[in-house]
Amino acid sequence: QSVLTQPPSVSGASGQRVTVSCTGSSSNIGAGYAVHWYQQVPGTAPKLLIYDATNRPSGVPDRFSGSRSGSTASLAITGLQAEDEVVYYCQSYDNVVAHVIFGGGTKLTVL
């Protein structure tokens, strides 16, 4: 059971918008620790998608955006494309366990 809770799956129609939530608590996201997002194509290493909740590394399309409010962070993907149909993970830090934590991952299906 992950400290950060993500929905196991989300779906959206091609071209539409979808959001992936990452729910934490007062010892991690709610405490103000940074939230980061990764995209993982099956069989490959995760790739940094969003860092510090809202920032995109160079090369990441602006279709991907992040936000946070209270103990929850969200990843939004607009203009859904077939290539977006992979797994997304959130990551933060928890001051109770005192280490990096990951969400359980969310599989995105593009309809």
Partner 1 sequence: QVQLQESGPGLVKPSQTLSLTCTVSGGSISSGSYYWSWIRQPAGQGLEWIGRDHTSGSTNYIPSLRSRVTMSIDRSKNQFSLKLSSVTAADTAVYYCARAQGENGWYYFDYWGQGILVTVSS
User: Does the footprint of partner 1 cover residue 47 (CB under 8 A)?
Assistant: yes
**1, 47, 70, 107, 110 from 41: Cα distances, Å:** 22, 9, 29, 10, 14
Structure token pair of residue 61:
């399309």
Of the candidates 10, 48, 76, 86, which one interacts with partner 1 according to CB under 8 A? Answer: 48
User: Does the footprint of partner 1 cover residue 33 (CB under 8 A)?
Assistant: yes
User: Does the footprint of partner 1 cover residue 39 (CB under 8 A)?
Assistant: no
- Give whichever of 59 and 111 is closer to partner 1, judged by the CB atom: 59
The answer to whether 88 and 96 have CB atoms below 8 angstroms apart is no
The answer to whether 35 and 28 have CB atoms below 8 angstroms apart is no
Per CB under 8 A, contacts with partner 1 among 59-88 are none
Residues that bind partner 1 (CB under 8 A): 2, 33-34, 36, 38, 44-48, 51-52, 57, 89, 91, 93, 95, 97-105
